[in-house]
């Protein structure tokens, strides 16, 4: 993989993806092999939006590689509150860290920030744009559970604002995967993602009804309706609560269906699914550490 920064899943080739996933599998199988391989490395965390999994798994990843984090902390207690631009913030923090992880509410923030720094910068979510490291751990999880060849994947929920969906849909075009998109009309894939899928030769198969497609799926990727991205509350309420699944809903699914979710969930997946063999979303979240270890290991130069 030959990228200075990871800002979008659009930049990742199949070879890039496989390099990271293979390295993640090696690390997961033998974590001790990379312990302290990046001793002293500092990862700068700049999270302008809330995060649990992404932030903590990046922290865990760099620490398991022997490094540590420097964390901007909440926006309210940073110079951002005084009106500092993102461009200035990243130029300052690059002097404190060997790599940066950025989450920001504006689309394109990571790409712009990457133009101002020389250390590797990783997009940890930019508004309703991209979330490429989530995609890498999603692909890792899919590869482990169903494989990435000749599989049928249903992606359901908020396809308009869901950045994990935008990144995943694009990355899946590198593989022999049939993608089905299930959402209300108001939350269908945005034009930009649809354009990319067409450009990559994928057929965009869209559905508003979930039940007919369920029996054909190897993987069901459920997403949260992104309340914070809706311009107004009434539009959110109109679609909130649609496309929920529970153990009964899944009765017609294949026995080996894998249910995934980038988390956090609100009520899209009922708790009674958690105990079924379908549920894979906590495993998916756990995979975030080894995948991010692999990515950091590569970006920081493959060990010291």
Partner 1 sequence: MTDQELRVSKIQRGTVIDHIPGGQALNVLAILGIDGTEGDVVSIGMNVPSDRLGRKDVVKVEGRELSQSELDVLSLIAPDASINIIREFEVRQKHRVDRPERVTGVLECPNHNCITSESEPVETEFEVLDGGIRCVYCDTIIRENIASHIYV
Q: Which residues bind partner 1 (CB under 8 A)?
A: 8, 10, 85-87, 104-109, 111-112, 115, 126-129, 191-192, 195
Handedness of CA 41, 16, 221, 199 (dihedral sign): positive
Annotated catalytic residue within 5, 7, 23, 54? 54
Rounded to a whole number of angstroms, the distance between the first and last alpha carbons of the chain is 18
Q: Distance between CA atoms of 101 and 22, rounded to whole angstroms?
A: 22
Q: Is 10 helix (H, G, I), strand (E, B) or coil?
A: helix
Least distance CB 191 / partner 1 (angstroms): 5
Closest approach, Cβ 129 to partner 1, in A, equals: 6
Annotation marks residue 103 as catalytic: yes
Alpha-carbon span 27 to 268, nearest angstrom: 32
Rank residues 201 and 275 by Cβ distance to partner 1 and give the closer one: 201
| Ramachandran area for residue 217 (φ above 0: left; ψ -120 to 50: alpha; else beta) | beta
Nearest distance in Å: CB 125, partner 1: 13
| Known active-site residue 54 | yes
Q: Which of 3, 53, 111, 286 is catalytic?
A: 53
Task: Clarify whether 194 is annotated catalytic.
Answer: no
Beta carbon nearer to partner 1, 82 or 191:
191
Largest CA distance in the chain: 55
CA count, 13 A, side-chain hemisphere, 230 = 16
What is the Cα 180 distance to its own chain's centre? 18
Closer residue to partner 1, CB minimum distance, 8 or 145: 8
Omega before residue 264 within 30° of 0, cis: yes
CA distances from 29 to 1, 26, 34, 76, 128 (A): 21, 5, 11, 40, 34
CB of 111 to partner 1, least distance (A): 5
Pick the catalytic residue from 5, 23, 55, 103: 103
Residue 268 is encoded by which pair of tokens?
């899209």
Q: Catalytic residue among 131, 143, 180, 261, which? A: 131
The two three-digit tokens of residue 123, written as one number: 């997009």
Cβ-based nearer residue to partner 1, 85 or 176? 85
| Structure tokens that stand for 280 in this block | 């894979």
Residue 111 or residue 286: which is nearer to partner 1 going by CB? Answer: 111
Q: Indicate the residue among 85 and 216 with the shorter CB distance to partner 1.
A: 85
* Nearest distance, CB of residue 86 and partner 1, angstroms: 6
- Residue 94 beta carbon to partner 1: minimum distance, rounded to whole angstroms: 16
**Is there a contact between 66 and 43 (Cβ–Cβ < 8 Å)?**
no
The residues that are catalytic are 53-54, 82, 103, 131
């Amino acid at each position: 993989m030959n990228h200075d920064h990871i800002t979008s899943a659009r930049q990742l080739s199949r070879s890039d993806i496989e390099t990271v996933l293979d390295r993640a599998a090696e690390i997961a199988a033998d974590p001790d092999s990379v312990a302290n391989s990046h001793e002293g490395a500092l990862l700068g965390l700049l999270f302008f939006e809330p995060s649990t999994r992404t932030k903590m798994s990046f922290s865990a990843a760099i620490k398991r590689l022997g490094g540590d984090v420097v964390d901007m902390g909440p926006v309210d207690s940073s110079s951002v509150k005084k009106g500092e631009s993102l461009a200035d913030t990243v130029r300052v923090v690059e002097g404190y860290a060997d790599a940066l992880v950025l989450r920001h509410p504006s689309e394109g923030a990571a790409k712009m920030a990457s133009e101002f720094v020389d250390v590797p910068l990783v997009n940890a979510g930019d508004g309703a744009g991209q979330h490429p490291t989530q995609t890498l751990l999603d692909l890792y999880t899919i590869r482990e559970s169903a494989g990435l060849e000749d599989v049928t994947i249903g992606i359901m929920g908020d396809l308009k604002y869901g950045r994990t969906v935008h990144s995943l849909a694009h990355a899946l075009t590198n593989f022999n995967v049939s993608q089905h998109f299930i959402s209300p009309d108001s939350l269908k894939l945005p034009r930009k993602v649809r354009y990319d899928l067409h450009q990559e030769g994928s057929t965009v198969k869209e559905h508003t009804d979930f039940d007919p497609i369920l029996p054909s799926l190897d993987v069901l990727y459920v997403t949260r309706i992104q309340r914070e991205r809706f311009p107004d509350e009434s539009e959110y309420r109109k679609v909130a609560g649609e496309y929920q699944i529970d153990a009964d809903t899944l009765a017609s699914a294949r026995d080996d269906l894998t249910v995934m979710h980038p988390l956090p969930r609100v009520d899209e997946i009922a708790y009674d699914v958690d105990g079924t063999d379908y549920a894979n979303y906590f495993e998916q979240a756990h995979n975030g550490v080894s995948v991010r270890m692999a990515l950091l290991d590569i970006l920081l130069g493959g060990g010291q």
